[in-house]
């Protein structure tokens, strides 16, 4: 193995490192340009969000099955989704929700699916100059460099089947280190949740499994995790339920997931903390949001401590909204099965 200097290009991702501060960035602007040109959209008008905030009608149309899909449309849709998936797993975590949604219709796509996928391309046109960044010397308080922390959220019963016999929930989580994202996911729940707290617990369970893996990986790489990994959650009921050490009959169907979170907190591996919904970064991974909220959360996820400068491609400068971070574990556990205002029908 030879040392040939700093890494620059790897799997279509451009990496840069500041020799003074040690800041690392990752960008796929060239890949986005290639994807736009491949689909004839290199001169398309940019949009601020990848998916409409008010989307109930669109989701209902997507759930309607297409009996005889056009093979050409299906092939085009699959090619487009493949490119979006590649961007999503590398440098565009903010499109995870819409990519996860579109990927469920790979074999039965129609005109609407193509139109929504191309709207994501229009969004990428507006943000292609943005990049992921990780700081080497600073970190947002109360965190320190090398420390992993995460965000977990859920959108209760937002996924309907075409015949209204199935109601799943969307979940999303995000883990960060040195002010930049290192792992993220957006998907639907594998089981039906009966209330907001249960859907949030399912999201917490998935996030907790990833947190344990990331802790082990970080320790092997020399980034020793001396403190419990913090996972921020915006549903007070879920936070209270995650700290209980007694079984409830109403939680029987999520008993194993609930017990896993409680055990890991008791062993000092994890710590679930309640936060305001106004600073829940994982919110855009499980539900669509308006441009102002979406851009604020996206910039924070990408590692921008200050909003990016406005340019001619439609990206506006946004001031981060203030929020609060506090541990509300002292709340009475009697609220564990009540729907909180922060988590209802996101």
CATH of span 141-343: 3.30.420.10
Whether the model pTM is above 0.85: no
Q: Kindly tell me if the per-residue pLDDT of 175 is higher than 50.
A: yes
Range with the poorest average pLDDT among 156-165, 246-255, 296-305: 246-255
Q: What is the reported pLDDT for 245?
A: 58
Share the mean pLDDT of the chain.
Answer: 80
Average pLDDT over residues 21-50: 91
H/E stretch holding 176: strand 167-177
Between 284 and 344, the more confident residue is 284
Count of residues in the chain:
346
Cβ neighbours of 19 (radius 10 Å): 7
Neighbours of 291 (CB within 10 A): 14
Question: Residues with Cβ < 8 Å from 245, sequence gap 6 or more?
Answer: 262, 266
Residue 145: exposure state from Cβ atoms within 10 A (0-12, 13-18, ≥19)? middle
The CA distance from 158 to 286, in Å, is: 9
Tens digits of residue pLDDT in 112-159: 888 899 999 999 999 999 999 998 877 788 888 889 999 999 887 777
Residue-level pLDDT at 239: 87
Query: Residue 142 has what pLDDT?
Result: 84
DSSP string, 46-95: P-S-SS-SS-HHHHHHHHSPPSS--HHHHHHHHHHHHHHHHHHHHT-GGG
* CA torsion through residues 324, 231, 222, 259, sign: positive
Q: What is the 3-state secondary structure (H, E, C) of 239-289?
A: HHHHCCCCCCHHHHHHHHHHHHHHHHHHCCCEEEEEECHHHCHHHHHCCCC
Domain ranges of the chain: 9-127, 141-343
Q: How far apart are CA 327 and CA 38, in angstroms?
A: 49
């Amino acid at each position: 193995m030879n040392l040939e200097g700093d890494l620059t290009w790897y799997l279509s991702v451009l990496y840069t490192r500041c020799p003074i501060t040690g800041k690392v960035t990752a960008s796929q602007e060239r890949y986005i340009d290639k994807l736009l040109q491949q689909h004839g959209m290199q001169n398309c008008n940019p949009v601020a969000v990848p998916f409409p905030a008010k989307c109930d009608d669109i989701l209902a149309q997507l759930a309607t099955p297409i009996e005889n899909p056009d093979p050409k449309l299906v092939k085009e849709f699959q090619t487009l989704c493949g490119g979006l998936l590649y961007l999503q797993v590398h440098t565009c975590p903010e499109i995870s929700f819409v990519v996860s949604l579109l990927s469920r219709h790979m074999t039965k796509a129609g005109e609407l699916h193509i139109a929504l996928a191309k709207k994501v391309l229009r969004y990428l046109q507006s943000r292609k100059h943005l990049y992921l960044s990780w700081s080497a010397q600073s970190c947002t308080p109360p965190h320190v460099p090398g420390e992993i922390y995460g965000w977990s959220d859920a959108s209760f019963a937002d996924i309907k089947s075409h015949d209204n016999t199935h109601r799943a929930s969307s979940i999303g989580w995000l883990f960060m280190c040195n002010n930049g994202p290192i792992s993220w996911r957006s998907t639907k729940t594998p089981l039906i949740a009966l209330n907001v707290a249960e859907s949030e617990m399912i999201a917490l369970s998935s996030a907790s499994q990833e947190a344990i893996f990331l802790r082990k990986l970080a320790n092997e790489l020399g980034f020793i995790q001396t403190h419990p990994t913090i996972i921020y959650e915006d549903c007070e009921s879920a936070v209270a339920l995650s700290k209980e050490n007694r079984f409830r009959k109403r939680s029987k169907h999520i008993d194993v997931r609930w017990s896993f979170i409680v055990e890991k907190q008791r062993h000092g591996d994890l710590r679930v903390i309640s936060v305001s919904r106004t600073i829940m970064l994982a919110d855009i991974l499980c539900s669509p949001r308006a441009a102002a909220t979406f851009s604020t959360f996206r910039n924070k996820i990408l590692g921008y401590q200050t909003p990016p400068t406005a340019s001619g491609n439609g990206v506006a400068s946004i001031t981060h909204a203030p929020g609060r971070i506090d541990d509300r574990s002292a709340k009475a556990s009697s609220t564990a099965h009540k729907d909180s205002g922060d988590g209802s029908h996101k």
